[in-house]
Amino acid sequence: MHLGHTHPAPAALSADARRPDGARRALRIGLGGPVGSGKTATVAALCRALRDALSLAVVTNDIYTREDAEFLLREAVLPPERITAVETGACPHTAIRDDISANLEAVEDLEDAVGPLDLILVESGGDNLTATFSKGLVDAQIFVIDVAGGDDIPRKGGPGVTTADLLVVNKTDLAPHVGSDLARMAADAKAQRGELPVVFQSLRGESGVADVAAWVRERLAAWTA
Amino acid sequence: MSRAALLVLADGRFPAGGHAHSGGAEAAVRAGRVTDAPSLEEFCRGRLHTAGLVAAALAAAAVLGADPGELDAAADARTPSPALRAAGRRLGRQLLRAARATWPSAELDAVARRFPKGTHQPVVLGLAARAAGLAPEDAAHCAVYESVSGPATATVRLLSLDPFDAAGVLARLAPELDRVADCAVEAARRAADEGADALPAASAPLLEVGAEWHAGWPVRLFAS
Amino acid sequence: MDGVTVTGVRGRARIVARADGRGGTALPVLDGEGPLAPRRTRSAGAEARVMVVGAMSGPLGGDRFTLDARVEEGARLHVGSAAATLALPGQAKGEARYDVRLEVADGAELHWLPEQLISAGGSDLRVTTRADLAAGARCVLREEQVLGRAGETPGRLTSRLTVRVAGRTVLDQELACGPGAPGGWDGPAVLSGRRAVGQLVVVRPEFADGPVAARMLGECASLVPLAGPAVLVTAVAPDALRLRGLLDEALAGLG
């Protein structure tokens, strides 16, 4: 091909940092974790915390198509055109890890339709402790567990708890009610994760999603630097 | 040509989005038409001789160098259901992404530029096979196998069907897969002389109708 | 008898419809050879009406029928048939063929609404219907296949329907069923034991600007926009009566 050819470049392949027009694409952050740990609530809270300062969009991967997307729509955290649901063929972990093509289409289509975007949150359907996001799909991932799911989860480890860029222990307000030992969870997480950060949060508490939002802003600053 | 390249392309784990599509099985299961291994086998057989044959012929024609635009139009005409046309294009775009990463080629890049919204999956399958140095027969075999392996895998998930039974269904269909692939290649060679009208147009009314029904569901596991 | 060959009967009918310049439609060509006989019936306004009468029951094995209808610019033609066409086994070996070629010019309109095609036990028929429409043509085309007379195992029937608008193929579909057809034809992907299947194609230039939205017509029928200025109704039903009901309802719904 000659230099200065006027044809646009063909579509991006996977994690390319540039879009076909040469612009930097949005930062992609994945949120995974077991069913009921509060992924969708965390996504909703992040949208509320960041939407005034950033241009953002969400991709959901629920077992039952559109359920999470509809929750986000009901909560009116983002306009509907900024939320896309991906069907996963009954295997959410496949869609975020082994065969990411439908999710890649979804993030690219969102950038085409409502871009330019600063940030796209990709939420996994509730899955087991081994489900993680492919590096071809997201730039960083958050693993969300909750105190009610058992305070032994950090000790058990698994790829999500051990390798996620951020571990969120959610629903700390419930700890006294379900007999979970937060100090033990923190110590176990430290042992599994070394220097990787952990956030304990209660979305009902005063600071809500603030720590996670601050972490996202740091990642975004590093991405655009 | 490399026989192993065919295995890479035909592998159900090749990351081209197929896992999220049931090939009409989700609708057939919900309608009560597929309930067990024997009904799955008849479903797969019907799909093989209709959608499978057409897909295989399109794929083989693409390997033989037919114009992708003509094949795209031929696929449209053979796919009355707009839900299936959309699914076919989406799967085509996803396969093209995977193929470009796996077998980089100027031809695949040109197709990505020409069809930003995607062209039908069988057309891309043929072009991917071509980029991998495979023959029309290989692409046709890939297409006929996909036409039955997709519904079989989906039915294992939807009905909690014994996976060994599903594998048995596919094994029993194998001789028919070979025959349909051969017919498809023959038709593709004829189309090289006579044009796309010579490609088979076998249709399955309940697959077409079921695809539209499925597309209207608010809650579903598979994209098609 | 004229037209009888060792291999079967040849039948041919030709219809040409032409605007008569006074707001009506003339039929300068209306002829049939062998068993196919097109007859002009009462006209309704600008439209000429033709009924195809099958002078013999057929087609039988080895027979070859062709029917050509051309609707010229500004003309309007409605074609029906006097009774259902019954495919029967014949003395001669081999499949029977029935080829229909329809041409509709700009500003012309064709209603092609024959009665059902019934595939009787032991018969072997291949039907092709090909409609070539100009960009400004209008057309309603119905095909219904009934597999076997009441309670009968059907014969083998292969039916291909091709519709082109302005040189571009917008629909190309073949349905093969009956003994000897490729496997799975009666299974859950294709007909699932139902004995009547039909297609209704409606082509109107205005669909290019305002496509019709896809919708379900009950459980086993759908109306879909094709990749062109046309819609297709596909219906699968337990019997001919219910099939006709679905297609009629769909056509009425298009206004």
pLDDT digits (tens, 9 = 90+) for B134-153: 999 999 999 999 999 999 99
Count of domains for chain C: 1
A103: closest CA among A74, A129, A81, A125? Answer: A125
pLDDT of residue A1: 39
Residue A5 lies in a domain: no
Three-state secondary structure call for residue C191:
coil
C-alpha–C-alpha distance, residues B19 and C134, integer Å: 42
Is A16 a domain residue? no
Q: Residue B195: give the domain boundaries.
A: 3-10+41-214
In a domain, C185, yes or no: no
* Cβ neighbours, 10 Å, residue A190: 13
How many CB atoms are closer than 10 A to CB B174?
11
What's residue C12's pLDDT?
Answer: 92
- C182 found inside a domain: no
State the pairing for strand pair C25-33/C8-19: antiparallel
Instruction: Determine phi and psi for C5, rounding to 5 degrees.
Output: -120, 170
**Residue C31: other Cβ atoms inside 10 A:** 13
Interatomic CA distance for residues B138 and B129, integer angstroms: 7
Helices B106-114, B82-102: axis angle to 10 degrees equals: 150
Q: What is the pLDDT, as a whole number, of residue A130?
A: 81
d(CA C174, CA C168) in angstroms, rounded, equals 18
Check CB contact under 8 Å for A13 and B218: no
Angle between helices B68-77 and B82-102 (to 10 degrees): 150
In a domain, A19, yes or no: no
Domain enclosing residue A34, as ranges: 27-224
> Which candidate in A86, A98, A101 is best for mutational testing of the B interface (most B CBs within 10 A)?
A101
Q: Would the CB atoms of B205 and C191 count as touching at under 8 Å?
A: yes
Domain holding A130: CATH number?
A: 3.40.50.300
- pLDDT tens for each residue of C216-242: 998 899 999 999 999 999 999 999 999
> Is C21 within a domain?
yes
Residue C5 covered by a domain: no
- The predicted model gives B20-39 an average pLDDT of 97
pTM for the complete prediction? Answer: 0.93
Q: Check CB contact under 8 Å for C184 and B45.
A: yes
Whether C130 has a pLDDT exceeding 90, the answer reads: yes
- Enter the ipTM: 0.96
Residue type at C149 in one-letter notation: R
What are the angstrom distances between the C-alpha of C140 and each of A157, C39, C133? 66, 20, 11
Give the pLDDT score at A6: 45
Cis bond before residue B151 (omega within 30° of 0): no
Helices and strands per DSSP (H, E), number in chain B:
11, 0
Q: Model confidence at B87, in pLDDT bands (50, 70, 90)? A: very high
Interface test with B, best of C132, C162, C192, C220 (most B CBs within 10 A): C192
Reference B3, options B95, B135, B105, B185; nearest CA is B135
**Residue C122 burial class via C-beta count within 10 angstroms: exposed 0-12, middle 13-18, buried 19 and up:** middle
Range of the domain at C204: 11-177+191-230+243-253
Q: Residue by residue, what is the 3-state secondary structure of C110-145? A: EEEECCCEEECCCCEEEEEEEEEECCCCEEEEEEEE
Residue B64 domain-assigned? Answer: yes
When CB atoms are compared, the residue of B18, B20, B218 closest to A87 is: B20
- Which pLDDT belongs to residue C59? 79
Mean pLDDT along residues C196-210: 96
**CA–CA gap between residue A164 and residue A167 (Å, rounded):** 6
Question: Does the CB of B93 have a partner CB in chain A at under 8 Å?
Answer: yes
Does residue B29 belong to any structural domain of this protein? no
What pLDDT score does A8 carry?
A: 57
pLDDT in tens, chain A (225 residues): 344 444 556 777 767 778 877 888 999 999 999 988 999 999 999 999 999 999 999 999 876 556 677 788 888 889 999 999 898 888 888 999 999 999 999 999 999 999 899 999 999 987 778 889 999 999 999 999 999 988 999 999 899 999 999 999 999 999 999 999 999 999 999 999 999 999 999 999 889 999 999 999 999 999 998
Q: Judge whether B161 lies within some domain.
A: yes
* 3-class DSSP assignment, residue A146: strand
Structure tokens at A25: 């694409």
Q: Do you know the residue count of chain A?
A: 225
Residue B195 lies in a domain: yes
Q: Do A144 and A37 contact (CB within 8 A), yes or no? A: yes
For the stretch C55-110, pLDDT in tens is: 556 678 888 999 999 999 999 999 999 889 999 888 777 889 999 999 999 999 99
Contact C160, B17 (CB under 8 A): no
The whole-chain average pLDDT of chain C stands at: 92
CB contact burial A127-149 (16+ within 10 A = b; e otherwise): bebebbbbebbbbbbbbbbbbbb
Work out the minimum CA distance from A29 to partner chain B, whole angstroms: 21
What pLDDT sits at residue A63? 62
**What SS3 class is residue B85?**
helix
As for how many domains chain B has, the answer is 1
Measured CA to CA, the distance from residue C41 to residue C28 in angstroms comes to 15
Q: Which residues of B, range 179-208, sit inside 8 Å of A by Cβ?
A: none
- B6 φ/ψ angles, rounded to the nearest 5 degrees: -65, -40
Nearest CB among B98, B219, B223 relative to A64 is that of: B219
Structural tokens at position A145: 């567990």
Is residue C161 in a domain?
yes
CB–CB contact C174 B201 (8 Å): yes
Q: Domain tally for chain A?
A: 1
Rounded Cα distance, B33 and A116, in Å? 46
Question: Other CB atoms closer than 10 Å to residue C241's CB: what's the count?
Answer: 10
Q: What residues of A form the annotated binding site for GTP? A: 33-40
Residues of B in contact with A10 (CB under 8 A): 100, 109-110, 112-113
The backbone torsions φ and ψ at residue C139, rounded to the nearest 5 degrees and listed phi first, read -155, 140
- B30 domain-assigned: no
What's the rounded mean pLDDT across residues B119-129? 98
The answer to the question of residue C184 being in a domain is no
